[in-house]
Amino acid sequence: MRLTDCHNFHDFRRLAKRRLPGPIFNYIDGAADDEVTYRRNTASFESCDLLPSVLRGVTDVDMSVTVMGQRLAMPVYCSPTALQRLFHHDGERAVARAAGKFDTMFGVSSLGTVSLEEARRISGAPQVYQFYFHKDRGLNREMMARAKQAGVQVMMLTVDSITGGNRERDKRTGFSIPFRLNLAGIAQFAVKPGWALNFFTHEKFKLPQLDSHVDMGSGTMSISRYFTEMLDPAMNWDDVADMVKTWGGQFCLKGIMTVEDAKRAIDIGCTGIVLSNHGGRQLDGSRSGFDQLAEIVDAVGDKIDVMIDGGVQRGTHVLKALSLGAKAVGLGRYYLFPLAGAGQAGVERALTLMHAELERGMKLMGCSSIDQLTRANIRFR
């Protein structure tokens, strides 16, 4: 299977599955418990229909948006995700370059495998730093200062991960960082020698945002222990208010799902929220961001930039979210599978297809700009 054979999300997923050892593929593809929320994230879009307007004379389409003070040439962005160099040796470098070519926002995770500084040098596109709140308050302040110095425009605090989700696919193979694979996991690596050749012939795997604070490379700490031992489950609104004040710029909370929490985000000075259930990887049985979107936009959409992520596989999914009032939509697995399958070329092809779907969809909807997408364009079954 070649990259040119990929025409949609499902094709990229199949390509990644062919290239990656099973434990790594399942780390991307898997979710918590019975994976109900993971499936619901995409299924939620199916209960909403688009209602096109015709004879509008749409020849040119402007799909640019401004979110948290950042102008994006298209209304989707590459959400920050962890461990990208496990999937392809270029990792975040490939994503940063691709986002730069499409002039859209991208994120680097606290568990990123390329440094904030290097990612900033690679791309002039708006950059988000996805941050976890640590028990060590000094570490939190140091990491924010580093992001500011690197030129990161938006701080994005993940608020739905005070403990790790129950990801049973990983338990079945023993997947962790550092690797502690069981026999089933080892066997799955053995049948994909190309991945091992790629991984071990490039620079050593590391977590640059944490290297000076947490030694994960020598086997002293796994990712699961990082979540249970380093992150602070006692994090509260006062702690976040202090972070917002310290940062002094665009600040977004990722993982907001209720009107009450959205209003509190406004009260402490946040400029954006992402309705997210972490791709179904945390609390199984929770609502999808799309299911909650209208309720939260109605309550606070005129006071804070509301975004969503989770389950987005098509341009029409994005158009539905924008019609409900989202300012932009985050992509996760949508670009991770093509990254795993073909590196930067894969991410660029995925974004090319998304751009084409958005442009085609807007023309068929009779809309020449994003602000023309409204609730008049959709109906729920």
The one catalytic residue in 89, 134, 278, 317 is 278
Identify the CA nearest to 150 among candidates 118, 185, 102, 111: 118
Reported as type and span, the H/E element at residue 359 is helix 333-365
| Cβ atoms of residues 255 and 80 within 8 Å | no
Q: Find out whether 286 and 277 touch, Cβ atoms under 8 Å.
A: yes
Residue 14: phi and psi, rounded to 5, are -65, -40
317 flagged as catalytic: no
Of 130, 227, 174, 161, which is closest to residue 26 (Cα–Cα)?
Answer: 174
As a whole number of angstroms, the distance between CA 287 and CA 279 comes to: 11
Spatial distance between the Cα atoms of 67 and 125, rounded to a whole number of angstroms: 13
Tally Cβ neighbours within 10 Å of residue 367: 24
Helix (H) or strand (E) holding 92: helix 92-102
Q: Considering only the C-alpha atoms of the chain, give the largest distance between any 2 of them, rounded to a whole number of Å.
A: 64
> Whole-angstrom Cα distance, residue 97 to residue 121?
10
Q: Cα separation of 232 and 213, whole Å?
A: 15
Q: Token pair of 340, please?
A: 């795993």
Active-site residue list:
278
